[in-house]
Each structure stands twice: as C-alpha cells, then as structure tokens.
Amino acid sequence: DQIYKHVKLVEEFPVNYFDKAYFGLDFGYNNQTALLMVQERDKVYYVTELLYERFLTNSELIIKLKEFGLHYTDRIYCDSAEPARIKEIKSSFLNVKPAMKDVSAGIDFLKSSEIYSLFKNTNFNNELESYVYKKDKNGKLHDEPDKVDDHLMDALRYAIYTESKRIEPNIRWF
C-alpha cells in the first residue's frame, strides 16, 4: 500500500555535490507546517527535513524561514490553495511560489525518480512509511493517497514536481 517504497535512507549526502537546491512548504496551523529542502544533481533528489511544527502564524513562519537562511533567490514551492499566505510571505522578500497541485501526476513523477532521505529526517521518514493509497470498504486500493499525516509528502511533491516543470529562462547575448 505504501506509495513511495523506493526512497532510500542514508546516513549523509555527498558534500559539495549538488547542482541546485529548492524547497517545499506545506502550510498548516492545527496540522504541522512542513518545510523540506531538496538538493538535486542529474535528476537525483536528496531530501532534508527542516521544519515540522504546529500552531505557526505567518509572522512566525517568516521568521523561521529567514532563520534557515532563505532569501529572495531560494525557490520555495508551497500550497497554491493558500494565495493570501503566499502573498504575505512573498511581501517579506521570500521567493514563494504556488506549487503545481496535480496529485496523481506528481506522485507518478516522484515514483519514477531516484530519491534519498537522511536517517535523521524522523518526521519525513515516518510519513514516508504511513503514506499509503486509499482503500475502499472492501480493501480495494484507489489511485489517490489517504490524506493522513502527509504534510512532508505534500511538500516533497510540491518541490520536486513543480521544479521539474520549471522552464529555465533562455538568455541570449548579442
């Protein structure tokens, strides 16, 4: 039933190895606000859990994002269902962007990707194990996830899937 069976757990990542880094953010208040960093090289993804905390206001979240050293050049993909939150965070000079929310396509993309997580990503790894497909009353699996404790899983999908669809600007010099 587990959706992401293929994610590999490792003790540490290579140092000075990555081509780029970006972030996934799932908003919460009564539920956890979840932030992770994805580092990438050659379409291989390395995930570091940064934040998993309840009862954060936008002001408190902005402070935490800046404490992590994030600024206007760091791409942060977040829940597009929260445009007011995105606008407020963006006004504090953070580069938050609404994520692509196609759950099925995003899951399919991630399932076909090589992904590594650190052993110390406790909340991420716990969610990874419990992130399963919905079952009907007869035990038949559906093609959508069971929406329980999936905050870091959503942040992961927001980051990797949306970044994979990003078009690099084509700069020409004359």
Task: Please say whether the beta carbons of 157 and 106 come within 8 A.
Answer: yes
pLDDT at 45: 98
At 140 the pLDDT is: 86
Where do runs of H (alpha helix) occur along 18-90? Answer: 58-67, 83-90
Report the predicted TM-score, pTM, of the whole model to 2 decimal places: 0.92
- The span from the CA of 63 to the CA of 112, in Å, is 35
- pLDDT of res. 117: 98
Distances (CA, A) of 41 to 18, 47, 143, 155: 5, 12, 29, 19
**Contact criterion met (CB below 8 Å) for 23 and 35:** yes
Q: What percent of the chain has pLDDT above 70?
A: 95
- For residue 125, is pLDDT > 90? yes
Q: What share of the chain is helix, strand, coil (3-state, %, to 5)?
A: 30, 30, 45
Distance CA 146, CA 81 (A): 19
Tens-digit pLDDT profile for residues 35-91: 999 999 999 999 999 999 999 999 999 999 999 999 999 999 999 999 999 999 999
Task: Kindly report, residue by residue over 8-31, the tens digit of the pLDDT.
Answer: 999 999 988 999 999 999 999 999
Give the pLDDT confidence score for residue 101 in this predicted structure: 87
| pLDDT tens string 141-158 | 888 888 888 999 999 999
Q: Which of 38, 32, 27 is nearest to 156 (CA)?
A: 38
CB 80 within 8 A of CB 98: yes
Using the structure block, give the residue that is written with the tokens 């093609």. 143
Q: What's residue 170's pLDDT?
A: 58
